[in-house]
Amino acid sequence: MKINDYTSDQIDAAVSAAENIANDWAQSSRETRARLLRGLADVLQARRDKLVCVGDDETSLGSVRLNSELDRTIFQLRGFAEHVEDGNAFAVSDDPAIAGAPPLGRPHLTRVRVPLGPVAMFSASNFPIAFSVLGGDTASALAAGCPVVVKAHPGHPQLSREVFELTKAVLTQQGLPEGLIGMVEGAGIEVGVGLVRHPGIAAVAFTGSFKGGTALWSHANSRPRPIPFYGELGSTNPVVALPSALTGNAEELARTLAASMEFGCGQICTSPGLVVLFESADADRFESALRDALQSAKTHTMLTPSMKHNFDAGIARLVATPGVQTVLAGESTNDDHASPRPVIARTSAQNFISEHALHEEVFGPACLLVRVQSIDEIVEVLNAVGGSLTVTLWGAEVDSPDVRRITRCATQIAGRVLFGGVPTGVAVTASQQHGGPWPASTQPFSTSVGYAAMDRFLRPVALQNPPAWLIERVGQPC
């Protein structure tokens, strides 16, 4: 499918249309926003078969995965509708005036939040529905009261256009201007750069590579007026297997991990890329069972030829690093459409810590097993990772100083710490946190999944001694 390369005039038109509606949408009621979010969910539901079919042709993700992604997208659009109806976009904190001299005496202060304005939203390649045109970033920005200009991902152009046409129909049906949700396409980086640098854009939401994300982030920061850049850049998602977890359960845990690695052909930001485990017979059993499970894994063509190319390059880098042994070798072909074979490698804690190349994410079905000798080494390995969307702890059920130490370290480097289970699968809920310290994301204080994602696009303002008419709006911008 040919990608349309939008000109700077077309980008300008999309952003200008978003700017024109920005004030009206910021002032819109909770009912208006909820109606739009529900209307978008309904139209996705109504066109499910067509969207799944087009999406499968472009991404090879398969109808089971795409149907569940569509379920999730519909769920989160409706969830944001409820979140807005509950008044969360208009939450205020109010301190009545106290007569007298400061510091006890004070004026009346009401803290409200105002929408930032048009958001540039970069669709993710690996979630062509749930983090694309009408995905979580778009839903949260609309809920916050911000128009959106989508940068379509070139990995699924036809699906993006189909969803965008449905979007336009819903806007028309609800009497809303088309500019509320715009879309631009580009085969090269110029369109994305032009969008981020456009003076009318007030914030950016991005999911993708470290390289692309940091390039766009620096554009956001070097504008005459820098803007917030919410980049979700990827992660190695360490899994720490404490000895008590593996005893009697090594094979079962290995099969569970293999299924998590296989999911989406490993093209998932929470895919487990690192397992930390003590040198032991149980660890050997775990490793053999993981190799057996992945040897027969059914993978599929990767999302784009460049992703396959990056995966092959990442594996070549991994296995060529000194001190790394291959446990399950991949299969190198020059065919970018070939299904990649999962790869497992092994190294020691000290080698992992000293070899910085091993800290990089290999996007796809690959996992590095790091053998440790002590709790100190587990902590050192996690600190070497530095920042991750998730850390999973197996065997931390019983309180002890060591367990507390590892838990503390995990919470310092990750946005989400799991006690058991696997990191793939990110629930859409109010308590979710999807975003971790650098290099997992550019803004570790925010989340790109769950209802708190809306907060990224709302800026706090304190109203001092506000007049009665403004108080009566109860946080709804004027």
Contact positions toward ligand NAP, by CB under 6 A? 122, 124-126, 151, 153-154, 186, 188-189, 192-193, 207-209, 212, 215-216, 232, 234, 269, 306-307, 310, 363
Which of 383, 411, 420 has the alpha carbon at shortest distance from 240?
420
Q: Left (φ > 0), alpha (ψ -120 to 50) or beta: where does 116 sit?
A: alpha
CB of 234 to ligand NAP, least distance (A): 3
DSSP letter for each residue of 17-45: HHHHHHHHHHH--HHHHHHHHHHHHHHHH
CB of 305 to ligand NAP, least distance (A): 10
- Residue 232 annotated to the active site: yes
CB of 311 to ligand NAP, least distance (A): 7
Which position among 162, 185, 232, 262 bears the catalytic label? 232
Residue 208 or 477: which CB sits closer to ligand NAP? Answer: 208
DSSP label at residue 457: G
- Give the alpha-carbon dihedral of 160, 222, 415, 345, to 10 degrees: 80
Give dist(CA 210, CA 221) in Å, integer: 16
CB of 221 to ligand NAP, least distance (A): 14
Residue 251 identity (one-letter amino acid): E
Q: Beta strand 109-115 with 458-464: parallel, antiparallel or unpaired?
A: antiparallel
3-class DSSP assignment, residue 383: helix
- Residue 146 annotated to the active site: no
Residue 25 or 363: which CB sits closer to ligand NAP? Answer: 363
Locus of tokens 């299969």? 331
Helix then strand then coil, % of the chain, to nearest 5: 45, 15, 35
Which position among 85, 146, 162, 269 bears the catalytic label? 269
CB of 331 to ligand NAP, least distance (A): 18
Which of 168, 180, 156 has the alpha carbon at shortest distance from 69?
156
Residue 268 or 294: which CB sits closer to ligand NAP? Answer: 268
Give dist(CA 262, CA 253) in Å, integer: 14
Give dist(CA 170, CA 192) in Å, integer: 26
CB atoms within 10 A of CB 434: 26
Identify each DSSP E strand in 244-314 by its residue range. Answer: 274-278
3-class DSSP assignment, residue 119: strand
Estimate to the nearest angstrom the gap between the alpha carbon of 82 and the chain centroid.
22
CB 20 within 8 A of CB 142: no
Residue 282 or 361: which CB sits closer to ligand NAP? Answer: 361
Residue 79 or 192: which CB sits closer to ligand NAP? Answer: 192
How many helices (H) does the chain have, and how many strands (E)? 16, 15
CB of 381 to ligand NAP, least distance (A): 20
CB 65 within 8 A of CB 169: no
CB 375 within 8 A of CB 402: yes
CB of 153 to ligand NAP, least distance (A): 5
Locus of tokens 């969008």? 195
Residue 122 or 352: which CB sits closer to ligand NAP? Answer: 122
Residue 7 or 306: which CB sits closer to ligand NAP? Answer: 306
CB of 352 to ligand NAP, least distance (A): 20
Residue 40 or 449: which CB sits closer to ligand NAP? Answer: 449
Q: How many CA atoms lie within 13 A of 420 on its CB side?
A: 7
Q: Which residues are catalytic?
A: 232, 269
